[in-house]
Chain A
Amino acid sequence: MKKILFVDDEQQMQQFFLEGIKHFNVPFEAVVADSGERALKIVQKEFVSVVITDLKMPRMDGLTLLRKLKLGYPEIPVIIISAYGNDKIKEMARKNGALFFLEKPCAIEKIIGAINATLKKESDGGSMHGITPGMFLQLIEMEEKTCTVRLVNTLTNEQGVLFFIDGNLCDAGIAGSRGIDAAYVIFGWNNVSLSIQNYCGLKENRINSDLQGILLEAMRRKDEEEEKENEVIWLDTEEEAVEEKTGTGITHTEEEVDLSNEEICSLVQDRLGRECLPEDIVSDGSWDSTFNEMTRLGDNLGTGKVKVGFVDTGSSHNYILVPGRQTKALAMNRTCPRDKIMDLFSR
């Protein structure tokens, strides 16, 4: 969910905003800060979509906060809300990049309206779902687009932003990280939803690196991370195997194992968590021909027996095929990490 940061040194105003939005079905959650310094600390750690700030605050005023945000976080639109709205101040706010200037006292509906209008602008260039950032990058590069792209990792709900000037990746940001390191993380995401804004508030290239190089490094880092995670799962499995052997004196060979639906669910839940549980398990023979054909293909190409398969038919589920006396097809939510599930069953 989008996060809106409301900055005002008056606690009464903070409460007015927090309580006010409760009466509306808003597509965002709100956090508050009582100073410009605190606001900057929040945007450094968390991914914030819009900042609404008061102008007159002790230590760091709203205009200074606005300048700092535009410099360090150009993707964050800023709305100014103030009782000191003379023309000169309004002009200064506009020149420094404020999107709206609301005058106090201001009805909550008006503030929500300004937030919604701001959020709408984030996708004026369109939005896409269920794609890999790498594929998308190629399109942006080809079209030499200048834009700001906001991404959500559909698996983890992490958010990120990419800045393109004439098709060149110039900066990236995720919660807690900016620049090339953030780009490595974003390009490691498998499945994202993204919105394109046909505007880039960034004026300089902060990455200055070859795009292909970034992609390759992102993949390398991702593989390294997955290997580490898999090592942990593998170690756990070995420990349990030893435990089972000493406890019962029986060891199972791969051929003897034909997991029941309950065993499959328990294995997935133990290793990958409840959110990865299959939504359905089919073993009615409907997947046998696919499995047999893939076995025939494997025979021809010299790869041996099938251990596990993944199939995407473009439907609402992905399927994990598990061999046994009966082929089992596990209908998985599309957001489940298929590499981890495949790795689990291939072992």
Chain B
Amino acid sequence: MKEIFKDILAIDGVSGVLLFSRQGRVVFQEMVLPLSENPEQRDWKSLTTVIKNVTEADFIYENGRIYIRNSAAGHLLVLMELFTSVAMVRLSCDMIMPALNKQAHGSKGIRSFFKW
């Protein structure tokens, strides 16, 4: 899984990648710097419920930016600095989508890992 996200994580200003299952569980996370509170410890069901029909979202905050893409494997979330090239992040997400979808639809073992 880490291999799939390596290009996104290599983009200047990207500070982390999270993959939420549709049940609101963090199934993968890779952060450049550790967060003060581990997102895995929270239940994100209410978040994944409101974004369940969202194919793509992009939110600008005071101190960062969050880009969200829906995939067969769940909701992919890219955390980045404000200066980061979103076009580059979008493009990289486009490129990993086939691999991510393949993972989700792949072996039973991986499928069960995502727990639909």
Which residue numbers of A lie inside 8 Å of B, CB to CB? 132, 134-135, 138, 188, 190, 215-216, 219-220, 222-223, 289-290, 293-294, 296-298, 300-314, 321, 338-339, 342, 346
Contact of B57 among A132, A190, A307, A312 (CB under 8 A): A312
Q: Does B112 contact A (CB under 8 A)?
A: no
Assess the B58–A302 pair: CB atoms within 8 A. Answer: no
Assess the B56–A312 pair: CB atoms within 8 A. Answer: yes
Those 3 A-B pairs whose CB atoms lie nearest each other, nearest first: A304-B62, A303-B64, A303-B61
Q: Which residue of chain A has its CB nearest to the CB of B86? A: A339
Report A-chain residues with C-beta under 8 Å of the C-beta of B86: 339
* A interface footprint on B40-71 (CB within 8 Å = 1, 0 otherwise): 00101011001101111111111111100000
Report B-chain residues with C-beta under 8 Å of the C-beta of A312: 54-57
New contact pairs (4) apart from A290-B51, A306-B61, CB-CB < 8 Å = A301-B64, A309-B57, A312-B55, A342-B58
Q: Which residue of chain B has its CB nearest to the CB of A290? A: B50
Report B-chain residues with C-beta under 8 Å of the C-beta of A289: 46, 50
B59 to chain A, nearest CB (A): 4
- 8 of the cross-chain contacts (CB-CB < 8 Å) are A293-B50, A297-B44, A297-B77, A300-B37, A303-B65, A304-B61, A313-B53, A339-B86
Assess the B35–A346 pair: CB atoms within 8 A. Answer: no
User: Which of B36, B44, B58, B98 gathers the greatest number of chain A CB atoms within 10 Å?
Assistant: B58
Which residue numbers of B lie inside 8 Å of A, CB to CB? 16, 35-37, 39, 42, 44, 46-47, 50-51, 53-66, 77, 79, 85-88, 90-91, 94-95, 97-98
Assess the B57–A302 pair: CB atoms within 8 A. Answer: no
Determine the distance from Cα of A328 to Cα of B61 in the docked complex, in whole angstroms: 16
B93 to chain A, nearest CB (A): 9
Determine the distance from Cα of A309 to Cα of B65 in the docked complex, in whole angstroms: 10
Determine the distance from Cα of A223 to Cα of B65 in the docked complex, in whole angstroms: 16
Contact of A300 among B39, B90, B91 (CB under 8 A): B39
Determine the distance from Cα of A229 to Cα of B35 in the docked complex, in whole angstroms: 34
Report A-chain residues with C-beta under 8 Å of the C-beta of B61: 298, 303-307
Determine the distance from Cα of A36 to Cα of B105 in the docked complex, in whole angstroms: 56
Q: Which residue of chain A has its CB nearest to the CB of B81? A: A303
Q: Which residue of chain B has its CB nearest to the CB of A346? A: B60
Assess the B59–A135 pair: CB atoms within 8 A. Answer: no
Contact of A219 among B55, B58, B88, B97 (CB under 8 A): B88
B70 to chain A, nearest CB (A): 9
A155 to chain B, nearest CB (A): 13
Determine the distance from Cα of A223 to Cα of B53 in the docked complex, in whole angstroms: 29
Determine the distance from Cα of A307 to Cα of B36 in the docked complex, in whole angstroms: 22
Contact of B95 among A135, A222, A290, A301 (CB under 8 A): A135
Report A-chain residues with C-beta under 8 Å of the C-beta of B55: 312-314
Report B-chain residues with C-beta under 8 Å of the C-beta of A223: 85, 87-88
B62 to chain A, nearest CB (A): 3
Q: Which residue of chain B has its CB nearest to the CB of A294? A: B59
Assess the B64–A304 pair: CB atoms within 8 A. Answer: yes
Report A-chain residues with C-beta under 8 Å of the C-beta of B91: 132, 134-135, 215, 219
Determine the distance from Cα of A300 to Cα of B42 in the docked complex, in whole angstroms: 9
Assess the A311–B54 pair: CB atoms within 8 A. Answer: yes
User: Which of A296, A300, A301, A304 gathers the greatest number of chain B CB atoms within 10 Å?
Assistant: A301
Report B-chain residues with C-beta under 8 Å of the C-beta of A313: 53-55
Report B-chain residues with C-beta under 8 Å of the C-beta of A132: 90-91, 94
Q: Which residue of chain A has its CB nearest to the CB of B90? A: A132
A314 to chain B, nearest CB (A): 5
Report B-chain residues with C-beta under 8 Å of the C-beta of A302: 35-36, 63-64
Report A-chain residues with C-beta under 8 Å of the C-beta of B60: 306-309, 342, 346
Contact A219 to B95, CB < 8 A, known contacts A302-B35, A309-B57, A310-B59 = no
Report A-chain residues with C-beta under 8 Å of the C-beta of B42: 300
Determine the distance from Cα of A311 to Cα of B37 in the docked complex, in whole angstroms: 26
Report B-chain residues with C-beta under 8 Å of the C-beta of A297: 44, 47, 66, 77
Determine the distance from Cα of A339 to Cα of B56 in the docked complex, in whole angstroms: 13
Report A-chain residues with C-beta under 8 Å of the C-beta of B87: 188, 190, 219, 222-223, 339
Determine the distance from Cα of A303 to Cα of B39 in the docked complex, in whole angstroms: 13
Determine the distance from Cα of A55 to Cα of B38 in the docked complex, in whole angstroms: 74
